[in-house]
Amino acid sequence: MSATLRVVPAQPANDTVATENELATRIVIVGHVDHGKSTLIGRLLHDTGNLPEGRMDAALASSERRGLKVEWSFLLDSLQAERDQGVTIDSTRLPFVLDGRPFVIVDAPGHRQFLRNMVTGAAGAAAAVLVVDVAEGAQEQTRRHAVLLRLIGVRHVVVLLNKADLLDFDADRVASATRAITALLEQLELSSAAVIPASARHGDNVAARSARTGWYRGPTLTEALSVVPPLASRAERPLRLPVQDVYRFDSKRIVVGRIESGRVAVGDTLVIGREGAVAKVATLEGWLGSGTEAEAGQSVALTLAPDVVVERGDLLHGSAYPPSRTARLRARLFWLRQEPLRPGESFRLRLSTAEYAVTVAAITSVVSMDDLTDQPADHVPPEGFADVVLAASESIPFDPFEPGSLGGRGVLVDGHGRIVGGAPLIGPAPLATGGRSVFPVDSAVSAWERAQAKRHRSGVFWMTGLPGSGKSTLARAAETLLFRRGIDVSVLDGDTLRARLSSDLGFSPEDRRENIRRAAVVARLLADSGQVVLVALISPRAEDRAMARQAVAEGFREVYVDADRAVCKARDPKGLYAAARAGRLSGFTGVDGPYEPPQAPDLVISTATATVGNSAERLAAFVTEAVALPGLSPRVGAD
């Protein structure tokens, strides 16, 4: 096979051709949305002479149109508009120079964007500037940003107490704010390299010492940044080369990737991938011919001898300093999804170019944002921080996350490819008490492949309502309609589950909840196999239905089968209402047991006056629309 090979040329380790960002010291700037971060960045770039020509005039003109003297944040807005067009400045980084030393500001406008920066640039930041309004102090977003700094390993923190001019630079109030923010950082095992009273708007103590703070003896912001120690060179660490891709070019198998740490040279012996095959580097390929050596930060294309099989996601390393390997990992999680995370959920763990199927086996602790302490919990709240245990069905090679390194920077990805959490890996996790080790394995057949084969999506339709409302009757009637339409459908009803799956359970609140949990798990398994599942359970408590929704995750829909108590009592198909009224049943839903109707169900079917046929048709139509694939219809009568 002959083709044009498009790879980045390997460069010698002493080659001076490198991007400015790779040589520069990265500084991440964070702060509450109203505490003046954008104003500070604009002022810093201006006062250090790092603005592109004409940018100040544009900001002044924009300020005058709004009746303002000068709005420094407009400088940042102008730069952002320019880099959105891809002209000169990278989308998340702003370069500047102090006394000949190159820096890069990693702009973190909010914690969601901060996570994306964490898995790209901010984890390599040498220091952070935490901007705090001196009058308002640390707000919740301030605390979240401080926790994120700990999460990504930034330990050199400069605090800028902004808007001190609004307090007339009162030394006592600044001292009080300094003590409060210092105590907060110490709780997170962070120490402040400097706490600087400042006014970003007026430039006090940003690049020049303020005459209004004669009592202050510390550094200005630029002085504090100029002494930030650079991170240790990643080239001096053990070799880690994640494989980006593998090309066949004539008779060669060419392995392409970017070196995260260490060096690689022709003749080096490497351990390859999950299987641990061993081979030597035969050549380093490049546009201008073959090189002999490359180091961290460089992209390489190499060939191996013998020509062993290498795949995307494999990690190449030397035999002397291998990565850790384990199937149970401790991770420090920042949870992005707007629904809580509970044990048992499965994701893809993305580590550099590799992905692994993992399940959240345990939640060790959750950070309380009120006092920043670690607390036991059974779930992680939206945008919460937690220590968790991830379990995989295979041994995962990784380096524990540490400041300045690229190893161990994991993210969790859901079934739709969305990043739902940042998960720096701390280290191996011990087995659960008693040595019980459970490693769920995801199917090798994707949900999309199953949907294509069945010509419809899967889903779980959770039918809730009072006893006698007609849930099971309606589910069975809709099952017949859906099956005739070529939809692969199953029904889980209360009596069948009680007779088979939950025959060991009674009717206490705890047993009822466990019955619902089991039903949700079975429904999830059936849905994962590509089926449509109709679950007909009273499930009277909203809390238990929320648990079921969480267990099923994607594809869960709540259907309220609505019939009032009088209608249900009159029907009484099993004689249960009569038995409850006679005192032979206690805690019966609809008599002396409560029922909590859904507040926002996906579908309401009123069965008090409608016929079974009409109600079943409504349910079948709703299900059919929900699981339909564009351009495809189910195969009627298919096997």
Per residue in 212-226, pLDDT (tens digit) is 999 999 999 999 999
User: What's the confidence (pLDDT) of residue 78?
Assistant: 47
> If you average pLDDT over every residue of the chain, what do you get?
82
pLDDT exceeds cutoff 70 at 593: yes
Per residue in 416-433, pLDDT (tens digit) is 888 888 888 999 988 755
Sign of the alpha-carbon dihedral angle for 206, 208, 213, 215: positive
Q: What percent of the chain has a predicted confidence (pLDDT) above 90?
A: 42
**Residue of 191, 212, 181, 307 whose CA lies nearest to 251:** 307
User: What's the confidence (pLDDT) of residue 2?
Assistant: 33
User: What's the confidence (pLDDT) of residue 273?
Assistant: 77
User: What's the confidence (pLDDT) of residue 401?
Assistant: 86
Phi/psi at 617 (5° precision): -65, -40
pTM score > 0.85 for this model? no
User: What's the confidence (pLDDT) of residue 45?
Assistant: 85
Query: The tokens 């400069």 sit on which residue?
Result: 158
Per residue in 22-80, pLDDT (tens digit) is 578 888 888 877 787 878 888 888 888 877 665 665 656 665 565 556 655 555 654 44
- CA 125 to CA 103: how far, in whole Å? 10
Q: Rounded mean pLDDT of 177-189?
A: 91
Q: What percent of the chain has a predicted confidence (pLDDT) above 70?
A: 80
pLDDT exceeds cutoff 50 at 86: no
Q: What is the length of the chain?
A: 639
In the structure, what pLDDT confidence band is assigned to residue 404 with cuts at 50, 70 and 90? low
pLDDT exceeds cutoff 90 at 176: yes
- CA 351 to CA 2: how far, in whole Å? 32
Strand partners, 526: none
Q: Kindly report the CA angle at 105 between 101 and 111, in degrees rounded to 5? A: 155
User: What's the confidence (pLDDT) of residue 191?
Assistant: 84
pLDDT exceeds cutoff 50 at 89: no
pLDDT exceeds cutoff 50 at 103: yes
The tokens of 503 are what? Answer: 């025959």
- Cα 108–chain centre separation: 16
- CA 297 to CA 404: how far, in whole Å? 13
- CA 40 to CA 196: how far, in whole Å? 13
Q: Which domains does the chain have, with CATH numbers?
A: 23-226 (3.40.50.300), 234-317 (2.40.30.10), 324-435 (2.40.30.10), 447-627 (3.40.50.300)
User: What's the confidence (pLDDT) of residue 6?
Assistant: 33
Burial class (CB in 10 A: 0-12, 13-18, 19+), 312: middle
**In terms of pLDDT, which residue wins out, 585 or 203?**
203
Q: Rounded mean pLDDT of 271-284?
A: 88
Rg, Å, the chain Cα set: 30
User: What's the confidence (pLDDT) of residue 33?
Assistant: 73
- CB count within 10 Å of CB 187 equals 15
User: What's the confidence (pLDDT) of residue 66?
Assistant: 58
In the structure, what pLDDT confidence band is assigned to residue 163 with cuts at 50, 70 and 90? very high
Burial class (CB in 10 A: 0-12, 13-18, 19+), 366: buried
- CA 199 to CA 209: how far, in whole Å? 11
List the alpha helices (DSSP H) in 430-560.
447-454, 471-484, 494-499, 509-528, 542-552
In the structure, what pLDDT confidence band is assigned to residue 468 with cuts at 50, 70 and 90? confident
The tokens of 639 are what? Answer: 């096997």
User: Contact 386/335 with Cβ under 8 angstroms?
Assistant: yes
